[in-house]
Structure 1
Amino acid sequence: MGIAGLELFNYFLCDLEPLPYNRLPYGNCSERTIEIPIAIRFLRRMEAGLREPYLEIGNVFANYLPLLDPHPELTNRIVLDKFEEAPGVLNEDLMDYREKHALILCLSTVEHIGQHAYGEQKSGDREAPLLALRHLYNLLKPGGSALVTVPFGKLMDMGWLIQFSDEYLRLLTDSYGVPAEALDVSYFRKLDMDMHLNNPKQCWIQCGKEELADKRFDSPFMFANGIAVIRMRKTGPDVMTEPRPHEPLTFEPAPTVSSVYFAPFVRPAGFDKDGYFPAARPGYVFYGPSLTLAPKSYVLEASFEIEGPGEFTLEVTSNRGRRRLWSRKIVRSERLSAPIEIKREEHQSEIRLYQHNAANCRVRVPCLVLNEA
């Protein structure tokens, strides 16, 4: 179980086919746990047509090649990665690449293009990932196929990536000219995970896109809480026209704080794999992450599950706890949404949970998000 208390299995369903979660201990606390098996399934289904190397955008599979040992032909790939230096990797910008391929694989990479990530400098173009997707379509040979995964939910500009939404993805056909019949999209939602980073178990389900409409990146679980799996097939000529104008989109910014489990909080007694903090004596259960709050309106969303007679205070402070900006007594399991007005710039700001009594108690915090209002 994790913070949602669900049973965690060793497999998930993809188009009703059971696939094992990735168990190689690399990046496995993220969406990689389902992206890797989905990608292997895709490659195996295309295996008969693999008479030439396929193109991988981003040097991802290098960390998972042992999973392809029974199928060595699936390792016959050309890797394009603008910044990562490794043997056999082409350090070339995707948008400058012109060679066409029958098969292309791109796992959680296009959302970073044009954003401030992995050596890339932010271009200011929030639609650069859509240009990259259209370019991938153009790089396919006639009848060729591509598999692309992206984080999906609320439309968010995280600085280092764009999280796609349904409205954003529809621009690929409505504005950028990729034929609608060339796309087949499926969606997956993370329901729960072990709350540790050492190869944790996770729980994902395939779902409708509407079930991801309110999902934020990095909350309550780190990295993507929902993904879109985009299958593209080259159904016509390259798309070379300029994108058609469209109504401006509204991007939600990255949360100021997104989780007590993965942000740089101090947690004196730690927490277990189900997300419970032990709380047996007076003192801080957690505090952090020590940041600067600009003079703005914020909203603090939090939920608490308390087992035992705990008496707590949740507070927002600055100057290392010397100045209290907001506080609330917590004595039972509850969910809250509180406006917080910051009148001046506050430094070394923290969210703190303090236990007042000595009691055999534990508390779980499935949601702790501080957003600009």
Structure 2
Amino acid sequence: MERIYATYLIETPYEVEQAVAVLAGEQSRETLLFVSKETEELKKYFAARVEDIELLEEVSMPSMPGNFVSGTTFKRAKVIVSWPVGNFGYNIPALMTTLMGSLYESKQFTGLKLHDFEVPNSYREHFRGPKFGMRGTKALAGVGPKHPMIGAAIKPSLGITPEHTAHFVKQLAEAGIDFIKDDELLTSSSNSPFAERVEKVMHVINAHANKTGKKIMYAFNITGDSRTMQSNYETVVNAGGNCAMVSVNSVGWTAAKQVCNWGGLSIHAHRNGWGMFNRHPFLGINFPAYDKISRLAGVDQMYVNGIDNAFWESNDSSVESIKSCLKPFLNSEAVLPVVSSGQWGGQAFETYKRVKSTDLLYMAGDAILGHPSGIEAGVLSIQQAWSAAINGMSLEETANDYKEFRESVLKFGSKELLNKESVN
């Protein structure tokens, strides 16, 4: 009998074994009473099973409020629970309902986080996974395997017209960018209607491709209800585009999978709202599990935070997310990790040192659009940093050798990052 295995981090004022038994029961049989027609055979087939318990530390304060007696100690553990696939079949919403569902309301837990899960090989027959994935997306953007994709978002997110957006796109294309995207806040606004923006932007991109042979990738934000997304998707395809962006936490995984199933565009998954799911260390879902849900849906590109990012996420967590995207899952194509949030060339060195891969999309908006010597120098500074990192050079050596990168260090990093020769 095939089973799915899920790993959780839990915290409980009860005995751990008792709490985990409730977890397994709540998400399978859903009854505290013996039902006359519930034979032992049925219970054996449908019941969840506790596979492993690894006790961790005990704490005096709970991670979440709950119904418990003052002075209680709270036990933490890493546990593995399994379910037979027959309980929910090959259905992403049913899978998520089982793995998360009512567990977060259970009084037995003052902390609970889904960390990861494993599915059986039969899932390969029911889920295609990413259509383009990491390799296909880089190929669509004309980027070889030895280099990362370099990208930027058009800012400000609201207020600029399609003509203004197209002007930025032209500058970025001529500067050698690989990827450009709408901001997640921009779908179809009063001053930038979706169809008009697509028309203006793709006119620039197609003209640049005809001239140079390189067709940069632009992720148009098609997020909306199902009918709107389909209409927007078709608009991008008809204009000759190769990418669409979807705010997956806003539309839900069923809608995201429907978009991916259309199969004509590389799907750029924006995870805005991620902090609601992950920021608390003992509540929500960790990225390895989140990433696998996205793979089942079929997205090709997934947002992760980068080294020394502008948000709350630690470097270790960001690196784990990048590696998770690149890790094989059901033998499907790897997802392209979108390294973002406050990135400039300076983080390329630590990123490459820790990930040892160029299979990523490196987003560096401000460092490109705000470079003191202009957009072309901004793109070049990122390319210089990555080339140097790959070749084993240090940040200081790179700043000594390349004017554009040195200028970016002084604006986006600090003089302390350079030696005196670099500053001078």
Q: TM-score range by the shorter chain?
A: under 0.3
**TM-score in terms of structure 2 length:** 0.25
Structure showing greater radius of gyration is 2
Q: Which has the higher strand share?
A: 1
Q: Which has the higher helix share?
A: 2
